[in-house]
Amino acid sequence: MKEITGLFKSTNSKLIKGIVDSGGAVVGTKVENFVGVLLEKELLATDLQKKVEATGAKGFISTDELPKYGISKEDKETIKKEFEAGEKDVVIFVAASQEEATKSVEVIEAELKKKN
């Protein structure tokens, strides 16, 4: 788990920028050999979404989805580089209050550890 708020200081993503500008944080985690899994396993993604929402955060974003939400291809590459993520790895991140973002990523890590 790593805070990556600084990577979004000059983002074009209104979603992320709004959260960061209001004092929020972006926290993420690398999941090895997970590329495409959340896109293919809709039930897993939905289950994770519900658990993240239970922490107070609105949801999560994975690098599999990018570019999207105003997050560019270049932003995606910067995120993956920050986590030293390879071609088969995914970074999942949450933008919310520091507490909600951290708790959400802890929940994601725990849930995915159970699944593997």
Domain 2-115 has CATH 3.30.1360.30: yes
Provide the pLDDT for residue 59.
95
What are the pLDDT digits (tens) for 20-56? 999 999 999 999 999 999 999 999 999 999 999 999 9
Is residue 100's pLDDT more than 60?
yes
Provide the pLDDT for residue 51.
96
Q: Judge whether 87 and 63 are in contact, CB under 8 Å.
A: no
Q: Judge whether 65 and 34 are in contact, CB under 8 Å.
A: no
Provide the pLDDT for residue 90.
97
Q: What is the mean pLDDT of residues 104-113?
A: 94
User: What is the value of pTM for the model shown?
Assistant: 0.95
Helices (H), the chain: 14-21, 37-40, 42-53, 73-82, 98-115
Q: Judge whether 68 and 76 are in contact, CB under 8 Å.
A: no
Whole-angstrom Cα distance, residue 108 to residue 104? 6
Provide the pLDDT for residue 116.
57
The radius of gyration computed from the CA coordinates of the chain, to the nearest angstrom, equals 13
What are the pLDDT digits (tens) for 47-98? 999 999 999 999 999 999 999 999 999 999 999 999 999 999 999 999 999 9
